């Protein structure tokens, strides 16, 4: 099982795109993304210094464009990828690149969204002096208690022993003066308290913009930052990307889902290294590949061939599959084969030790075939039922 991941803000380094831009095709594609983003991505990826590309309005478009364009270098014929990739995920802003890779939205839509996301988050960050600090190690309950005491938010829960606290600079200073036992604090070079209530104004900006975004159901299972669930409704993908701006990133739950899926290989798109580093510690036995430079492309394709498996989602279906969002027990709520479902009908729920999640048929349709029984144990992304759109004969 192969999973492709895209990194989030903070992964960028000065000059990381220089070797990629030696390829004229890559340069042409990046130029197109620059036109959509309204900034010179080639300049910022090759010549700008670390402080310049720390700017949220620059870093975010740079990261999303880099992941998307390098994916086209890895898969010259994009349709080939759908038969090999078991799932995709992106950390924070990387989720936009993952959504485009899964074909839930287009690359151009991803660039417009990230352009406005970066601007809006930068403006929100400028309103109040805020920041983020990595909390490494310590007892998990004690760390959470310390954050609550000082009014901080666990904005990123990346793995066991790796939490990012976010809030005002005063709150972070108070945490530094009274850190949790056996925990190491590392202030991060970011512009503000991302994924907290301080970013609420940016959510409003994106929500308005998202109303005009046309979506498709992902062709590859997409693992959501919000809760590690598999999302198979394009509209829900965009809703989650919008609200995620002011809500914590649960990368730990994303990796739990990867484990449940049976991941054997994780490939990280450029600028790679951060997410594969986390995976090495959190998912022992899973092979990782950090794609950093174009001279690694042949080795990366070998890695894809080694771990790639056929996706359960057909690229051009004449029917729709509804899949399980998580691991758990399926409780069926809909009817029998041949019955008609209205749009947004609930077909059942998936119950786990952590929560219970309803599964909807966003477009409705006619039940063609149940692929699981009531009470069956299901895994993330497992097909549950096959539907024909209304008006299409079986």
Residue tagged active-site, from 92, 324, 326, 345 = 92
Residue tagged active-site, from 150, 195, 363, 388 = 195
Cis peptide before 271 (omega within 30 of 0): yes
Phi/psi for 37 (5° steps) reads -75, -20
- DSSP letter string over 309-355? ---SS-SS-SSEEEE-SSSEEEEE-S--TT-EE-TTEEEEEEE-SS-
Beta bridge partners of 319: none
Catalytic annotation present for 43: no
> What distance in Å separates the CA atoms of residue 231 and residue 209, rounded to the nearest whole number?
21
Nearest to 382 by CA among 307, 321, 339, 301: 321
C-alpha of 338 from chain center: 36
91-123: b (≥16 Cβ within 10 Å) or e: bbbbbbbbbbbbbbbebebbbbbbbbbbbbbbe
* Per-residue tokens: 112: 């417009």
The secondary element (H helix, E strand) that includes residue 136 is strand 130-137
Catalytic annotation present for 189: no
Catalytic residue annotation? 92, 195
């Amino acid at each position: 099982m192969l999973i492709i991941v895209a990194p989030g803000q903070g992964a960028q380094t000065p000059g990381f795109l220089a070797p990629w831009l030696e390829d004229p095709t890559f340069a042409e594609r990046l130029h197109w993304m620059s036109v959509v983003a309204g900034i010179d991505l080639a300049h910022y990826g090759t010549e700008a210094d670390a402080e310049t590309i720390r700017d949220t309005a620059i870093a975010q478009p740079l990261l999303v464009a880099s992941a998307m364009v390098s994916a086209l270098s890895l898969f010259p014929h994009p349709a080939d990828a759908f038969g090999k990739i078991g799932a995709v995920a992106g950390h924070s802003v990387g989720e936009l690149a993952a959504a485009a890779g899964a074909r839930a939205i287009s690359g151009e839509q991803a660039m417009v969204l990230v352009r406005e996301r970066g601007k809006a988050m930068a403006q929100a960050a400028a309103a109040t002096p805020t920041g983020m600090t990595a909390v490494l190690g310590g007892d998990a309950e004690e760390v959470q208690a310390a954050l609550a005491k000082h009014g901080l938010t666990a904005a990123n829960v990346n793995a066991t022993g790796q939490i990012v606290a976010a809030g005002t600079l005063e709150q972070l200073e108070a945490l530094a003066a009274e850190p949790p036992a056996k925990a190491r604090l590392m202030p991060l070079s970011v512009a503000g308290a991302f994924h907290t209530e301080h970013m609420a104004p940016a959510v409003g900006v994106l929500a308005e913009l998202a109303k005009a975004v046309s979506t498709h159901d992902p062709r590859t299972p997409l693992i959501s930052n919000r809760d590690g669930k598999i999302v198979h409704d394009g509209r829900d993908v965009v809703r989650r990307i919008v609200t995620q701006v002011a809500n914590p990133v649960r990368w730990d739950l994303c990796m739990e889902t990867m484990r449940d899926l049976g991941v054997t290989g994780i490939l990280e798109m450029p600028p790679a290294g951060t997410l594969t580093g986390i995976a090495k510690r959190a998912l022992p036995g899973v092979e990782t590949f950090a794609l950093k430079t174009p001279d690694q492309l042949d080795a990366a394709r070998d890695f894809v061939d080694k771990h790639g498996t056929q996706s359960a989602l057909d690229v051009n279906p004449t029917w729709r599959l509804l899949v399980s969002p998580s691991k758990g027990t399926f409780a069926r709520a809909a009817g029998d084969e041949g019955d008609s479902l209205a749009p947004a009908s609930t077909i059942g729920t998936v119950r786990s030790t952590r929560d219970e999640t309803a599964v909807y048929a966003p477009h409705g349709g006619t039940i063609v075939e149940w692929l699981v029984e009531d009470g069956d144990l299901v895994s993330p992304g497992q097909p549950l039922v096959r539907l024909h759109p209304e008006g299409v004969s079986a």
